[in-house]
Amino acid sequence: MDYIQKRKQQMRNTDYKRRYGITLEVVDGMIEKQDGCCYICGDKPSNHKYTGLKVDHCHKTGEVRAMLCNGCNSGLGMFGDNIEAMKKAIEHLMENINETV
């Protein structure tokens, strides 16, 4: 690993520690455990516009939950981790889904 790659790894590790209290080693372990796929949709990050899995965490407790693609992580964030709103959205989709999609 050259100096620039090593420095990037160090910066990522510092960022994960500062933001989530975990190391790059923990993140890599989570990604490996999930076979490199998003915990929710199961897609590999290369299938998405914004590559790379993101750390999903509880905004109230700061607890790290899983690694998600940008779309799934953003979706949870938009719902503000509000389970009742998510359930209502699921009900709405189930009642109004177009079977030809």
Q: Is the pTM of this model over 0.85?
A: no
Query: What's the DSSP call for residue 47?
Result: G
Rounded mean pLDDT of 45-74? Answer: 85
The predicted pLDDT at position 25 comes to 92
**pLDDT tens digits along 33-53:** 999 999 999 998 875 555 689
Rounded mean pLDDT of 3-16? Answer: 91
Please report, as a single letter, which amino acid is at residue 8: K
Record the tokens describing residue 46, joined without a space.
């290369």
Contact (CB, 8 A) for 67 and 27? yes
Helix and strand numbers (H, E) in the chain are 4, 2
**Residue from 45, 55, 52 nearest 21 by CA:** 55
